[in-house]
């Protein structure tokens, strides 16, 4: 299983999330369905960013794909995943 690696920017909020969503949808249309999202540079995520990730997760499940979140090394970002309980939904590779 080959996975497309995508590195998030420092802030994953409204503008970045919309661009990310569009990029993933294009990749899915082109037949890709396995993604690794690298959070090593990300120090902020908002509700829009979380919503986009959940939408992509649902789409991946629907097409028998996979999304893995890696390198969430910023404590504030990890806290958001824990508070929203999304750390139980996503496959997190810290």
Q: If you write DSSP's letter for every residue of 27-88 in order, what string do you get?
A: HHHTT--EEEEE-TT--EE-HHHHHHHHHHHHHHHHTT-EEEEE----HHHHHHHHHTTTTT
Task: Express each pLDDT in 67-90 by its tens digit.
Answer: 999 999 999 999 999 999 999 999
Q: Does residue 94 surpass a pLDDT of 80?
A: no
Q: pTM of the prediction?
A: 0.92
Q: Does residue 21 surpass a pLDDT of 80?
A: yes
Query: Residue 83: its pLDDT value, please?
Result: 96
- Please give the CATH superfamily to which domain 4-93 belongs: STAS domain (3.30.750.24)
Band of residue 2 on the pLDDT scale cut at 50, 70, 90: confident
Task: Express each pLDDT in 26-51 by its tens digit.
Answer: 999 999 999 999 999 999 999 999 99
């Amino acid at each position: 299983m080959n996975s497309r690696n995508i590195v998030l920017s420092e802030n994953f909020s409204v503008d970045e999330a919309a661009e990310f969503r569009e990029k993933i949808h294009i990749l899915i249309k082109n037949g890709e369905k396995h993604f690794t999202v690298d959070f090593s540079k990300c120090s902020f995520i908002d509700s829009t960013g979380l919503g986009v990730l959940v939408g992509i997760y649902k789409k991946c499940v629907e097409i028998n794909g996979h999304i893995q979140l890696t390198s969430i090394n910023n404590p504030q970002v990890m806290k958001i995943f824990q508070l929203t309980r999304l750390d139980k939904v996503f496959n997190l590779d810290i």
